């Protein structure tokens, strides 16, 4: 009960404080810079222009302050710390970068991240596209799509536990309680330790992310496919194109933009993957990735310099997408 009261109080305080800010500052602005009226109600001096010059900053102020403190300043500070030692006290030049290049843990993380990037975006997008195409042809489309999309609602930690259970291992001869091993044994195979056997285990972890992201790809691609004009497809059909030709020559080019958005989104999710690896293996058995490796260097090895280099290497990989987003945004703004 105490916990409940505290929680309710905390929520009220947090939300209330913010509302007080917006109402309060606007009220202060409107009263201190109020228009002056003569006794007969005639306007003597209007402050409307100065008010409206200040008000935008009351509106964007909190957002800009938070962005500066939580994203802009840390980005610069992380860059600075990458040239300092473990406690960020002494300048060490490029030592941390040199360490990264020679560290087998870092190399393995980069290798695994690349492997994840080669598998997860393509597998999720491909499967999502297949399901979108298939679901378009049945009457129970909505139900099928809901089932595939459901894992998107589940946390990476929850998904990891769900799949740990799928991969559960019992010694040969015992009853298998994990679905994967039960199927394997049923077909006469030997039970596998799915998550401790490299290189197989890496793919078993990737499967979890594919399971989550396929629904996302499917929903976006399905919407895009429905946007392909019926007349174009009809015209191709009359010209004698078969279904496969229509798919690859008509539909794919038409949804290329959506395909790119889906792929890049999943690429960025994959680059930051952390929770799945932490819960499944904690980077053991050759499954380390940059996200988890950085966490290890902050909290277990307590070295901010090296952790900063790892964080920056994730950042560098996302830079092209950042520039692409800004470029697209500014182009659209010009068209407004």
Partner 1 sequence: MSTSQQPQTLAAPAPRAEVPRSSQLQFRITRFLGWFLVRATLIFICVLWTVPTFGLLISSLRDKDALAVSGWWESLQSTITQDQGRSGTAADQIEQEGRYIISGNLLPEGDRREISSFGLTATGFDDFAVGETATTNEGFEITVLEDGTYRLISMEPIPESFSRGQRITFQAETPPRLTLENYDEVINTEGLGDAFLNTATVTIPATIIPIAIAAFAAYAFSWMRFPGRLLLLSIVVGLIVVPLQLSLIPVLRVYNTLELRGTYPGIWLAHTGFGLPLAVFLLYNYISSLPRDLIESAQIDGASHFDIFIRLVVPLSVPALASFTIFQFLWVWNDLLVALVFLGTRPENQVLTSQLNDLVGSRGDNWEIMTASAFVSIAVPLLVFFALQRYFVRGMMAGSVKGG
Contacts of 127 (CB under 8 A, 6+ apart): 210, 214, 217, 218
- Report the residue from 100, 205, 259, 271 that binds partner 1 according to the rule CB under 8 A: 271
**40 makes contact with partner 1 (CB under 8 A):** no
**196 makes contact with partner 1 (CB under 8 A):** no
Smallest gap from residue 118 Cβ to partner 1 (A): 17
- Report the residue from 278, 283, 287, 309 that binds partner 1 according to the rule CB under 8 A: 278
- Report the residue from 279, 289, 296, 309 that binds partner 1 according to the rule CB under 8 A: 279
**84 makes contact with partner 1 (CB under 8 A):** no
Burial code (b: 16+ CB inside 10 Å, e: under 16) for 229-242 equals eeeebeebeeeebe
- Taking CB under 8 A as the binding criterion, the range among 92-100, 189-197, 244-252, 311-319 that sits at the site for partner 1 is 311-319
Please say whether the dihedral angle defined by the alpha carbons of residues 38, 43, 44 and 49, taken in this order, is positive or negative. Answer: positive
Residues in region 166-185 near partner 1 by CB under 8 A: 166, 168, 175-179, 182
Question: What are the φ/ψ torsions at residue 56 (nearest 5 degrees)?
Answer: -55, -35
Smallest gap from residue 140 Cβ to partner 1 (A): 9
Give the nearer residue to partner 1 in terms of CB position, either 23 or 200. Answer: 23
303 torsion bin: left (phi>0), alpha (psi -120 to 50), beta (else): beta
Please say whether the dihedral angle defined by the alpha carbons of residues 235, 241, 247 and 249, taken in this order, is positive or negative. Answer: negative
Smallest gap from residue 39 Cβ to partner 1 (A): 21
Burial code (b: 16+ CB inside 10 Å, e: under 16) for 173-201 equals eeebebebbbebbeeeeebbebbbeeeeb
Contacts of 88 (CB under 8 A, 6+ apart): 81, 304, 305
Distance (Å, whole) CA 160 – CA 154? 10
| DSSP string of 107-118, one letter each residue | HHHHHHHHHHHH
Smallest gap from residue 104 Cβ to partner 1 (A): 21
| DSSP string of 166-207, one letter each residue | HT----TTSPP-SHHHHHHHHTT-----TTTSTTHHHHHHHH
**248 makes contact with partner 1 (CB under 8 A):** no
Q: Could you give the dihedral angle defined by the CA atoms of residues 61, 65, 67 and 70, in that order, rounded to the nearest 10 degrees?
A: -160
Give the x-and-dash track for 207-246 against partner 1 (CB under 8 A).
----x--xxx--xx--x-----------------------
**298 makes contact with partner 1 (CB under 8 A):** yes
Give the nearer residue to partner 1 in terms of CB position, either 103 or 164. Answer: 164
Smallest gap from residue 286 Cβ to partner 1 (A): 19
**86 makes contact with partner 1 (CB under 8 A):** no
Distance (Å, whole) CA 84 – CA 112? 27
- Report the residue from 34, 50, 57, 235 that binds partner 1 according to the rule CB under 8 A: 57
Residues in region 135-164 near partner 1 by CB under 8 A: 135, 137-138, 144, 146-158, 160-164
**50 makes contact with partner 1 (CB under 8 A):** no
Question: What are the φ/ψ torsions at residue 26 (nearest 5 degrees)?
Answer: -65, -35
CB 251, CB 228: distance < 8 Å: yes
Smallest gap from residue 295 Cβ to partner 1 (A): 7
Smallest gap from residue 225 Cβ to partner 1 (A): 14
Give the nearer residue to partner 1 in terms of CB position, either 51 or 92. Answer: 51
**265 makes contact with partner 1 (CB under 8 A):** yes
**43 makes contact with partner 1 (CB under 8 A):** no
**110 makes contact with partner 1 (CB under 8 A):** no
**19 makes contact with partner 1 (CB under 8 A):** yes
Smallest gap from residue 290 Cβ to partner 1 (A): 8
């Amino acid at each position: 009960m105490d916990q409940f009261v505290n929680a309710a109080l905390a929520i009220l305080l947090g939300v209330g404080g913010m509302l007080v800010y917006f109402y309060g500052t606007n009220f202060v602005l409107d009263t201190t810079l109020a228009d002056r009226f003569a006794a007969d109600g005639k306007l003597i001096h209007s402050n409307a222009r100065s008010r409206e010059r200040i008000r935008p900053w009351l509106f964007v102020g909190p957002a800009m302050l938070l962005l500066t403190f939580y994203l802009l300043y840390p980005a610069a500070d992380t860059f600075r710390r990458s040239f300092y030692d473990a406690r960020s006290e002494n300048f060490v030049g490029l030592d941390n970068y040199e360490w990264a290049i020679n560290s087998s843990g870092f190399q393995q993380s980069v290798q695994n991240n690349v492997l994840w990037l080669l598998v997860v975006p393509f597998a999720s997008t491909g499967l999502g596209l297949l399901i979108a195409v298939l679901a378009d042809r049945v009457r129970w489309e909505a139900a099928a799509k809901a089932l595939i999309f459901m894992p998107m609602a589940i946390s990476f930690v929850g998904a990891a536990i769900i799949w740990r259970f799928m991969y559960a291992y019992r010694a040969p001869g015992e009853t298998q309680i994990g679905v994967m091993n039960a199927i394997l044994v049923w077909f006469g195979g030997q039970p596998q330790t799915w998550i401790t056997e490299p290189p197989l285990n890496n793919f078993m972890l990737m499967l979890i992310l594919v399971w989550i992201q396929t629904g996302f790809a499917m929903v976006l691609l399905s919407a895009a496919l429905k946007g392909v004009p019926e007349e174009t497809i009809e015209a191709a059909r009359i010209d004698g194109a078969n279904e496969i030709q229509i798919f690859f020559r008509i539909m794919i080019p038409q949804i290329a933009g959506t395909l790119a958005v889906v792929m890049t989104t999943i690429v960025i999710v994959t680059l930051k993957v952390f929770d799945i690896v932490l819960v499944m293996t904690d980077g053991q058995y050759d499954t380390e990735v940059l996200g988890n490796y950085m966490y290890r260097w902050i909290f277990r090895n307590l070295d901010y310099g090296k952790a900063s280099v790892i964080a920056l290497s994730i950042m560098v990989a996302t830079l092209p997408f950042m520039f692409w987003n800004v470029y697209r945004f500014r182009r659209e703004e010009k068209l407004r």
